[in-house]
Amino acid sequence: MSEDPVRTDGPLRILVVDGDDRVRESLAGLLAIGDRVLVIGSCGQPATALELVTDFRPDVVIVDPRLPEVDGGLRLIADLRAKCPDVRILAMSSSDAHERAALDGGAHAFIRKTFRPTELIAAILATRQPADA
């Protein structure tokens, strides 16, 4: 995916990866408001997420680091960084305890699931900023 330059036109394309279908549906509905982002897909399994990233080339992947399977979300973050370096990763969890592991594992930003809508948009946009910004 690194041959594709970072897009600057149109809404950011988002893939939501969370083991809870209610969370995925809620995020998709929330993010559908406005014109800054477009949810292009969602799933609950790391292997499916990798396929969707390859097929749909999202700009940002929102990942719960506690996905099923042994360290599924953390492994997905590492796999995305290795295989899809242009994709930005927002880790999202209900616990701050997962923040350090997700960021150390390669996520570009972290947000707790208790976010306000404006905080979610800000976190998504923060993934697009250089690390030293």
The reported pLDDT for the residue numbered 131 is 54
Q: Is the pLDDT of residue 120 over 50?
A: yes
Query: Considering only CA atoms, which of 122, 123, 97 is closest in space to residue 110?
Result: 123
What percentage of residues in the chain have a pLDDT greater than 70?
89
The pTM assigned to this predicted structure is 0.87
pLDDT tens profile 12-36: 999 999 999 999 999 988 988 878 8
Q: Is the pLDDT of residue 4 over 50?
A: no
Rounded average pLDDT over 101-128: 91
- Side by side, which strands form the sheet with 88-93? 37-43, 12-17, 60-63, 88-93, 109-112
The reported pLDDT for the residue numbered 83 is 92
pLDDT tens profile 54-83: 999 999 999 999 887 657 899 999 999 999
The ranges assigned to domains in the chain are 12-126
Query: Considering only CA atoms, which of 42, 40, 38 is closest in space to residue 17?
Result: 42
The Cα 109–Cα 129 span in angstroms is 10
Distances from the Cα of 132 to the Cαs of 24, 57, 64, 108, 115, in angstroms?
Answer: 31, 25, 24, 12, 24
CATH of 12-126, one of 3.90.650.10, 1.10.10.10, 3.40.50.2300, 3.20.20.70: 3.40.50.2300
For 70, other C-beta atoms within 10 Å of its C-beta total 6
Rounded average pLDDT over 48-54: 95
